[in-house]
Amino acid sequence: MNTQLMIDYLSALSMNNDREWYHAHKDDYKKANAEFEKLLQTLLLEIGKYDSSILHNDPKSLTFKLVRDTRFSHDKSPYNPAFRAHISSAGKLPVPVGYYLMIKPGDQSFLGGGLFADMFKDATAMIRDYIAQNGAEWERIIHEPTFEKYFTVRGTALKNVPAGYEKEHPQAEYLKFKSWYLEYPLKDEELKDAEKFVAKAAELFQIMKPFNDYLNKALAGFQMPSR
């Protein structure tokens, strides 16, 4: 698990973000990506100690490509210089929610959890309904002291409580949300010792697990839209 190899490659790609450089350094990518997959395999085993639902995953199936979709972006850089993965019982699909890891140089890495995608209207409605009906459990999870030490619930949100929900509901602020997620930022320095990093990541993912479990109970029966 050579995390420095990952950081060095991604830093170089960030400074040379074009197809010619990328293809000329394909071997460097393969080596760095292999190290990322080793890291994921080790992390899977650690997470599996408290969440066995993810153990069947193959690390290769959990990763995202470096290639960016630039069709609707002002930034036409062809690559996202980051190694990313989502670990859940259904792999890298956004639902069920799981554990998200992004390694990106320049202190832009982070650990995440919850629902990042806000384009699934059914998922948003299911979570809103569940929070509206199970507010006490929600409050207990997000205000647990260890959780609060590391995480704050984030997400894209409406200005007002949506129609169909009480404006004075105790969880009104969270009913405005369209996505509900957590992020724990990481400095490059924290990635240098791979074993320490995996231990810390596994510990933080365990702290966020009740939050993920809550959202997954809300999302029971959700079907990903067919393309």
Asked if residue 47 belongs to a domain, the reply is yes
Phi and psi (nearest 5°) for 38? -65, -40
Assess contact for 98 and 88: CB atoms under 8 A: yes
* Structural domain for 180, as ranges: 3-215
Note the pLDDT of residue 114.
98
- Angle of helix 121-133 relative to helix 135-142, nearest 10 degrees, comes to 90
Average pLDDT over residues 122-142: 97
Asked if residue 126 belongs to a domain, the reply is yes
Asked if residue 225 belongs to a domain, the reply is no
Asked if residue 223 belongs to a domain, the reply is no
* Count of structural domains, the chain: 1
Note the pLDDT of residue 142.
98
Asked if residue 11 belongs to a domain, the reply is yes
Answer yes or no: is pLDDT of 69 > 90. Answer: no
**Confidence band of 181 (pLDDT split at 50, 70, 90):** very high
Asked if residue 221 belongs to a domain, the reply is no
Angle, CA of 112, 129 and 203, to the nearest 5°: 25
Asked if residue 222 belongs to a domain, the reply is no
Assess contact for 106 and 81: CB atoms under 8 A: no
Average pLDDT over residues 167-190: 97
0.85 exceeded by pTM: yes
Instruction: Give the H/E segment covering residue 180.
Output: strand 180-186
Asked if residue 107 belongs to a domain, the reply is yes
